[in-house]
Amino acid sequence: MNNKLLIVLFTLLWTGINAQNWENDHYCTRIPGKISDSKKDITQIVPSLFTENYDLKYYRYDWYIDPAVWYIQGTVTTYFEIIGKDQHSISFDFTNNLEVDSIVWRGKKIDFKQSDSYRLDVNFPQALAENALDSISITYHGEPPTSGFGSFIQDQHGGVPILWTLSEPFGAQDWWPCKNGLDDKIDSIDVLVTTPDKYRAASNGLLIREFISSEGNKTYHWRHRHAISPYLVAIAVTNYEVYSHDVHLSDGTTMPMLNYVYPESINQAKIGTSYNVKVLEYFDSLFVNYPFRNEKYGHAQFNWGGGMEHQTMSFVVNFGNSLLSHELAHQWFGDYVTCRTWQDIWLNEGFATYLDGLIRERFPTYPNDWYNWKYGIINSATSQPGGSVKVTNPTNVNSIFNSRLSYNKASYLVHMLRWKLGDTDFYQGIRNYLNEHQYSNTTTNDLKNSLENVSGQDLTSFFKNWYEGEGYPTYNVTWAYKDNKLIIHLNQTTSHPSVTFFDMPVQIGLSSKVQQKYIRLENTENNQTFEITTDFDVENIQFDPALWLLSKSSVKYDAGLLTSSVSDYKNNVTILPNPVQDVLTLITDKGNWDSYHIISLDGKTVQSGKCQDKETRIQVGTIHSGQYLLQLNSSKNTSKIFKWIKL
């Protein structure tokens, strides 16, 4: 089947989606299918409990690599602090496929044992001092195994050998002695790779120097002075061509974007990386400063079917905009701030996927680029009725990197948080989250707290439904209109019994032949009816026209709604004064309204509260001047919306 026919078929499968953009490695940043290449069952690997009595501080890696040979040899020196008293040994996660030649402590060789397939025990002749900095050097060699997405791979491009590493999630232990978990970032590293002088070695941080170390060999010394998770340490070695771009950051500094590229890919690469410069400058201004701006950002090409966000230098198979943007986004979401457990991988992958979407909003490359991206994500996430964003089996690679859940549904959690909170609070909450947890590890609850502290909203129900729960809602929308009175009824069914109702604000588009506007309804209960007084004749409505919600829907006209029970309350509500300066008073004759929501015209809920029996005094002095909507909710699942003005 030729490529042109494949594109036609792809277009038919994704109605309304631009095929070329979706082909551009959007979903290939982690392909679960690649796991079949593994040489052992990754589902049996869990982080070791034997590595908890010390805190990692520093690593110096000194390796010899010939990319034509599946082999590693060298010395790894690690500095650490002991936790606890009377500690005579420490352990590392490290494969016994590699032979340890010696371990040196304070100039002397000491005892060690490779006691299990992935455990290296180091025994000291005396107890180590608690909280004191100490170090050992481990010299080893051999042919590493591979797991997960490969971890240590030797291959070819254009007839030239290449060797690269990709350790996420559990693969670092396949090629160097480490802590194979997420709870102990290394404060600082130096990476020295010696290789035949016709090759170049790429790695994390700054290239301090490259020098002839012996006849026919060259050494590349990379230095990284930021906290880094073990799975993000990486090397790649082949006959790279090297070029760079200047990136102008929002703090006024200029930083290099350094690119290590196959010679045969240089023209394509320069197009893609040039585009990625403006994406980096956009992310830098939108969130917080690029976290590693005193070093670099860059790319190293490799053959794996996607990309990997190795800290300061992403490894990529090609230079499509979607792939480069996704891996770049990880420098903030995944590298700077890293999930604490693999259950929370959505904090890495959901945000990176969403930021790939944001470049389509900011820099659209074709009409409806942003809309079509959202449409495709919704179709993917709703293609099955169940599935939780919270990873159910965090020791299984397929479960961790589920494209439908950890990427697509997770990205829509981010999008719906933006809708629920409004842009101002959403982006400030994300900035606070990044600043509060810089260079550390986080949980979903950490993100929740940052967003709640900025917005004042309680997000417990949101995360209970969307993060822990499964499935999505289907909205059945009926409506009717007469004499400037619009009635909308929302009924919701859920695709999975773990969630009975998704309480989310919804956007409704109202239109006539000459006019269009959007309103926001706080849908707090199922089978809720809303009455809206309009200033033009409504001829049609749309549910969620901007695709803010992960949902399905149907919309139909129902004249019977004009006799809705909302009309019973039509003349029983007074709001005064209007316009108002400080206190808005709500008077209801029968006291049959339970709660209120103040909604800005841009769709943000700025204040909510409970209604009193007959008179409710609402403090609005701190709200900015402008027009607002007041939505009242009744005990009979009905709502009414009023316009008012804040002076």
User: What residue spans define the domains of the chain?
Assistant: 21-36+334-468, 51-239, 473-646
Per-residue model confidence as pLDDT tens digits over 354-371: 999 999 999 999 999 999
> Where does the pLDDT of residue 119 fall: very low under 50, low under 70, confident under 90, or very high at 90 and above?
very high
* pTM passes above 0.85: yes
Contact indicator for 624, 607 with CB cutoff of 8 Å: no
Rounded-to-integer distance, Cα 536 and Cα 517, Å: 10
Angle subtended by helix axes 410-421 and 423-436, to nearest 10: 120
Greatest C-alpha distance within the chain: 95
Burial class (CB in 10 A: 0-12, 13-18, 19+), 82: buried
Same fold, 21-36+334-468 and 473-646: no
What's the CATH number for 51-239? 2.60.40.1730
Per-residue model confidence as pLDDT tens digits over 157-193: 999 999 999 999 999 999 999 999 898 999 999 999 9
Rounded-to-integer distance, Cα 465 and Cα 469, Å: 5
Strand order in the sheet with 638-646: 552-557, 473-482, 485-494, 528-533, 638-646, 626-634, 593-600, 605-610
Rounded-to-integer distance, Cα 228 and Cα 143, Å: 25
Compare 14 and 379 and report the one with higher pLDDT.
Answer: 379
Identify the three-state secondary structure at position 255: strand
DSSP code at position 388 = B
Cis peptide, bond prior to residue 577, ω within 30 of zero: yes
Mean pLDDT of all residues in 535-555: 97
Q: Which helix (H) or strand (E) holds 597?
A: strand 593-600
Q: What percent of the chain has pLDDT over 90?
A: 77
Task: Give the pair of three-digit tokens for residue 66.
Answer: 């010939």
SS (H, E, C) 144-155: CCCCCCCEEEEE
Contact indicator for 398, 35 with CB cutoff of 8 Å: yes
Task: Give the pair of three-digit tokens for residue 237.
Answer: 């070695």
Architecture of domain 473-646: Sandwich (2.60)
Among the residue ranges 4-13, 66-75, 250-259, 548-557, the one predicted with the least confidence is 4-13
Beta-bridge partners for 554: 476
pLDDT at 46: 54
Cis peptide, bond prior to residue 385, ω within 30 of zero: no
* Residue whose C-alpha is closest to residue 315's, from 248, 262, 247, 373: 262
Q: Which helix (H) or strand (E) holds 284?
A: helix 266-286
Per-residue model confidence as pLDDT tens digits over 404-416: 999 999 999 999 9
Task: Give the pair of three-digit tokens for residue 610.
Answer: 């409970």
pLDDT at 257: 98
What does the chain come to in residues?
Answer: 647
Q: What percent of the chain has pLDDT over 70?
A: 90
Contact indicator for 315, 302 with CB cutoff of 8 Å: yes
Does the pLDDT of residue 567 top 70, yes or no? no
CA distances (Å), origin 592, targets 303, 491, 617, 619 = 66, 22, 16, 21
* Residue whose C-alpha is closest to residue 231's, from 150, 332, 351: 150
Among the residue ranges 158-162, 579-583, 618-622, the one predicted with the least confidence is 579-583
Does the pLDDT of residue 43 top 50, yes or no? no
* Residue whose C-alpha is closest to residue 501's, from 521, 529, 524: 524
Architecture of domain 21-36+334-468: Orthogonal Bundle (1.10)
Rounded-to-integer distance, Cα 408 and Cα 387, Å: 12
